[in-house]
Amino acid sequence: MIQTLLGGRVYGLCILLVLFLVTIQSVHAQDHTVSGTVVSALDNQPLPGATVLETGTLNGTATDIDGLFTLEVGSPTASLTVTFVGYVTQTIDIEGRNDITISLEEDTGLLEELVVTAGGIERRERAVGYAVSEVGGEDLREIRENNVANALAGKVAGVIVTKPATGPAGSSRVIIRGASSLGEDSQPLYVVDGVPIDNTTLGSAGMWGGTDGGDGIGSINPDDIEKMTVLKGPAAAALYGTRAKNGVILITTKKATPGSGLGVEFSSNTTFENVLVNTDWQTRYGQGTRGAKPSSEDEALSTVDQAWGPSLDGAQTISWDGTNQPYSQATDAVNAFYNTGITSTNSLALTTATATSSLRIGLSHLQNEGISPNSGLTRTTLSLRGGSQFGSRLSADAKINLVREFVNNRPRLSDSPGNANYSVYQLAPNVDVESMRCPPEDEACTEPGTDVDGRELHRGLFGNIYQQNPYWAAHQYTSSDEDRRAIGFASLTFKFAEGIHLMGRFGGDTYTTRRTGITPWGTAYSPLGGQNEQEFRITEVNTDFLLTVDRELTSSIALQATAGGNILYRERETLTLSGGGGFNVPGLEVVTNQNTRSHGYGFNEKQINSLYGSAELAYNDYLFLTLTARNDWSSTLPVDNNSYFYPSISGSFVFTDALEVPEWISFGKIRASWAEVGGDTNPYALALTYGLSGSHLGQPRGQIAQGTIPLADLKPS
């Protein structure tokens, strides 16, 4: 049922996208042809790509590279409405003329930089009373990062980016203005084109091992991004609710500009990476203990990671594999074991736009060969975005982003069996890591890390069966991930009057991750092997409406107000299938080949209904006051306590416009803000939950599935 639901949502997004891209053209008698030129009033230079519409209709065209246009209109008495980015819109009566020159004045109000704030609302930088930073798409792509979150490193003050040591498939950690909590995730909320996306990390390393399962933001193609805006602090993010308490990162993606015609974008990028080793390894003393070399094969096996022997003298000494080898410095283990990582990315985008509709199609393919042997990543992204203007009042915008990703052998971390790094970094200077690839009698060496019987080439290495032969760990101890993701939205905006708009939007983020982990037959610590299968299905749906009013109340006071609502629905389903008792047939690595099998299932869902609003007052364009308020009703809290309210207030004063200041001060602003952010809890935290634990006399045996007593009267934080 869940698969049907997820598939239906993706299919529905596609249908909405197609419907919204249909441009309805009005039928006219078109008995008059008018030609002309659109130029800038400042320097009389032509304006290519300006939109020329017959007023009150969808009949229009765009100027060519020389600013020229030709349009058939319904009447010689019709009028033309001309628009161009950064210029004041102008309406001209044709009055029977066949040739017209139209001069557009620059819109000085748009010359000041606009920043995207909460709710996707653009505001002038001077009016914002809290910290906002913006990074353009070109800056993000200047030094190519596979995970776009990494591209923020060093570009935004107060933002700390920790890049993964596990390669392109790893998760990035972004902290804005320091960690907000010791026990909770302190990462920001990511919002793509107004729609929050899931950034769950499905797996991490603990004391006894694990893998970095990657994150949600890694699925976003950097070549599709127009800009990223970082909202710092709770006041900046008050309209997004409790998930935004650690800040918000807004991502605006590219779309075709109306009237721009046909366009093609192509980029190709290749990066190389090597292991960075800052450790100053000692190379004077060799393998052994208490100043003595190993005197037997057993001693050599158990001390390959101990360099307490005498100085390296080049004499023949027993090695871990039973052969005699020179007691001298071997090939550097790190450089010998690891590869040069290669990541190639190719992106192609096609854009087309008329005066009233636009469409952009993007395709990107990333291919990575990891630093660790036998590891890599393949990611393919398809994006489709379009918009249409239906008359002078109604407009539509829609997008869908499809991602498919395959990850081969995510690196195992910390004290995890299968962590090849752990063994490589501990070898004594005279121990050649390449001697662990295959035994001396196996000249073909087709299966690295394997002895002639197909088992792990171990023999008691390190004196610890849980510390593995690094080649066995890399080539035989395997894992694979397959991710399928769809992110999309569809919106309609209706213009009631100049400065009054109502927007309705439906957005969704849904993905399925299937993960397979194999402990192969012949592993030293698990001779019969094992296999685990996991599948995660996560869906988040946001339904929004937003009313915006932008008015000048008097000659010196202006008001920008918003009122909106949101319904957030989130569900998570987990399926697990584990094999036990080892493989019946060696080498047949499927769960059905396990001696015993067990399965698990988990499901949770959550819904938050919200109402919010904001009001900004501007006085003489130098004094600004902004108030916001939001109220949430969460399904995870008791009915009597499920409502929580959080307000914010911020202000800014542009003193360089209000006061006389020295000429060397070009711009100065004082700002301050205050906010409160509420919070709920995890699903089902209010109930005592039960599970099954084995059986007795053929009947299932129940158990309490949690270790804490729930609080029936829990209140919001």
pLDDT digits (tens, 9 = 90+) for 184-233: 567 888 999 888 898 888 877 766 777 888 888 888 888 999 888 888 86
Q: How many domains does the structure of the chain reveal?
A: 2
pLDDT at 85 over 80: no
CA Rg, the chain, in Å? Answer: 32
In a shared domain, residues 578 and 677: yes
Q: What is the pLDDT, as a whole number, of residue 23?
A: 38
State the Cα torsion 431-432-436-440 to the nearest 10°: -110
Range in 12-26, 380-394, 433-447, 540-554 with the lowest mean pLDDT: 12-26
How far is it, in rounded angstroms, from Cα 505 to Cα 282? 62
What is the distance between the alpha carbons of residues 436 and 441, in angstroms, rounded to a whole number?
Answer: 12
For residue 652 the two structure tokens come to 């800014």
pLDDT of residue 679: 78
Residue 534 lies in a domain: yes
Lowest mean pLDDT among 131-135, 171-175, 224-228: 131-135
pLDDT at 26: 37
Asked whether residue 562 is assigned to any structural domain, the reply reads yes
Per-residue model confidence as pLDDT tens digits over 382-427? 999 999 988 888 999 999 999 999 999 988 887 778 888 888 988 9
Specify the DSSP element, H or E, that contains 701: strand 699-704
Q: Which helix (H) or strand (E) holds 400?
A: strand 394-408
Q: How far apart are CA 461 and CA 714, in angstroms?
A: 54
Please indicate, yes or no, whether residues 395 and 354 belong to a single structural domain of this protein: yes
For residues 45 and 84, membership in a common domain is answered with yes
Residue 545: the pLDDT is: 94
Residue 438 placed within a domain = no
CA torsion angle 614 668 176 364 (round to 10): 80
Cα-based distances in Å from 286 to 278, 319, 325, 334? 21, 12, 12, 17
Q: Decide if 179 contacts 190 (C-beta within 8 A).
A: no
User: How many Cα atoms within 13 Å fall on the side-chain side of residue 283?
Assistant: 10
User: 205 or 310: which carries more pLDDT confidence?
Assistant: 310
Rank 175-184, 457-466, 478-487, 577-586 by mean pLDDT and report only the highest: 478-487
Q: Which of 117-131, 164-178, 680-694 has the lowest mean pLDDT?
A: 117-131
pLDDT digits (tens, 9 = 90+) for 628-656: 899 999 998 888 888 988 888 989 998 88
In this structure, of 31-35, 234-238, 279-283, the range with the lowest mean pLDDT score is 234-238
169 within domain boundaries: yes
> Does residue 123 have a pLDDT over 90?
no
Question: Is 366 in contact with 263 (CB distance < 8 Å)?
Answer: no
**Average pLDDT of the chain, as a whole number:** 85
Domain end residue (candidates: 76, 110, 144): 110
The pLDDT, as a whole number, for residue 235 is 66
pLDDT at 147: 84
Q: Report the distance separating Cα 61 and Cα 83, nearest Å.
A: 11
Residues of the chain above pLDDT 90, percent: 38
Q: Are residues 92 and 159 in the same domain?
A: no
- The domain in which residue 93 lies consists of 31-110
**Could you tell me the CATH number of the domain that includes residue 70?**
2.60.40.1120
Is 516 within a domain? Answer: yes
d(CA 50, CA 62): 5
Confirm whether 511 is domain-assigned.
yes
In a domain, 287, yes or no: no
207 and 86 fall within a common domain: no
- Residue 397 pairs in a beta bridge with 387, 491
Together in a domain, 89 and 202: no
- Range among 88-92, 115-119, 181-185, 524-528 rated most confident: 524-528
Q: Is residue 589 part of a domain?
A: yes
% of the chain beyond a pLDDT of 70: 90
Q: Which of the listed residues 42, 76, 110 is the one where a domain comes to its end?
A: 110
CB under 8 A, 24+ apart: contacts of 614-619: 614/118, 614/119, 614/239, 614/561, 614/562, 615/559, 615/560, 615/561, 615/562, 616/123, 616/127, 616/559, 616/560, 616/561, 617/557, 617/558, 617/559, 618/127, 618/557, 618/558, 618/559, 618/560, 619/556, 619/557
What are the contacts of 501-505 at 24+ separation with CB within 8 A?
Answer: 501/547, 501/548, 502/545, 502/546, 502/547, 502/548, 503/544, 503/545, 503/546, 503/547, 503/548, 504/544, 504/545, 505/194, 505/195, 505/542, 505/543, 505/544, 505/545, 505/546
Alpha-carbon span 712 to 715, nearest angstrom? 9
In the predicted structure, residue 588 carries a pLDDT above the cut 70: yes
* pLDDT tens, residue by residue, 211-223: 888 888 888 888 9
pLDDT score for 400: 95
Rounded to whole angstroms, the Cα distance separating 218 from 246 reads 19
Residues 536 and 407 in one domain: yes
- Burial class of residue 290, CB neighbours in 10 A (0-12, 13-18, 19+): exposed
Task: Tell me, yes or no, whether 186 and 256 share the same domain.
Answer: yes
**Cα angle value 99/103/104 (rounded, 5°):** 135
